[in-house]
Copies of this chain bind each other. A is one copy, B any other.
């Protein structure tokens, strides 16, 4: 590219970006509502719980208090658990539930575990010291009908106005998506398990 066309490109770029900035600012000015958000991470891809950990860290860094209820035991790994435990004044992790249902192979035990986990979750949701509650893998529990969907939806709909709630797990119920503010579907495009690669430290655990 010669100097003249390069300069021309630079000028056009600057004009285009100035226009883009003005458009963005106009849109942002209309965003004035502050409220506790209901956030859902679903889909078959990776990153649902990992992004919830990222949110927890962001909140802790902001001095906000985070409550985490794990509906499936062992779903969060030693790596993140170790760090979160160092911030126990701002982060309460309750590893409830049993292992995955193919581990327990005991439906009654799964039902009882889901019920205790939900009791902990509702207690956290009414405790005003918490700014954000993460209900990890709640979608799985609902999917297996180990908790009654309507009861859970009612409680979430009636949460404190400024409380953020994050719900993770594949197969989120349509009714949950309906009442959510932010829903992200993690779609798996490629996964190494298909190629004989095993779960690795730092990535999977």
Contact = CB atoms under 8 A, between A and B. Distances in A.
Contact of A200 (B21, B34, B84): B34
A67 to B, nearest CB: 13
A197 B37 contact: yes
A30 to B, nearest CB: 6
Contacts of A187: 43, 184-187
Interface of A: 9-10, 13-14, 17-18, 20-21, 24, 27-28, 30-35, 37, 39, 41, 43, 45-47, 49-55, 57-62, 64, 77-84, 87, 101-108, 131-132, 164, 177, 180-193, 195-203, 205
A54 B50 contact: yes
A25 to B, nearest CB: 10
B61 A184 contact: no
B37 A57 contact: no
Contacts of A55: 50, 202-203
A50 B58 contact: yes
A45 B61 CA distance: 23
Contact of A35 (B62, B83, B185, B197): B197
A77 B105 contact: no
A86 B1 CA distance: 46
B190 A20 contact: no
A57 B61 contact: no
A13 B146 CA distance: 12
